[in-house]
Amino acid sequence: MCHIIALPRNFRLLEELERGEKGIGDGSVSYGMDDADDIYMRSWTGTIIGPHNTVHEGRIYQLKLFCDKDYPDKPPSVRFHSRVNMTCVNPETGVVEGKKFGMLTNWQREFTMEDILTQLRKEMAAPHNRKLVQPPEGTFF
């Protein structure tokens, strides 16, 4: 019988930190900790470079991710700092709304912050988001 041992929260976050700092895949998403002295590793900043052939192309979006004590069993809260117009993002607050963003609704422990950022980038290129008029670049929530 095979037992999967769940990594303790801080090991998991250290693993994610290492990955985020190395740079991921093609460099279109990245993330790191806000405060290196936060022993609970709660506050993170993510970056998404807008996908080609969309209104987001050439833009750099900043996000805030907050991993509470129940992460990774529960998803982090995710909020755009850069203003963006997307169907899953609250236009007033920049919060990525779980009900409108499947990955947060159907969260699984294996998912990572990298997965969230990558999925949000895919969401930018989706037909319902790729042509939406965007707020001026360099504006923030």
Query: pLDDT digit string (tens) for 27-68?
Result: 899 999 999 899 899 999 999 999 999 999 999 999 999 999
Is 80 in contact with 88 (CB distance < 8 Å)?
no
Query: How confident is the model at residue 21, as a pLDDT?
Result: 79
Say whether pTM exceeds 0.75.
Answer: yes
Fold category of 9-125 in CATH: Ubiquitin Conjugating Enzyme (3.10.110)
d(CA 92, CA 59): 20
Is 44 in contact with 65 (CB distance < 8 Å)?
yes
Query: How confident is the model at residue 79, as a pLDDT?
Result: 98
Nearest to 116 by CA among 46, 51, 12: 46
In the chain, where the domains are located: 9-125
d(CA 72, CA 21): 19
What's the mean per-residue pLDDT of the chain? 93
Query: How confident is the model at residue 27, as a pLDDT?
Result: 85
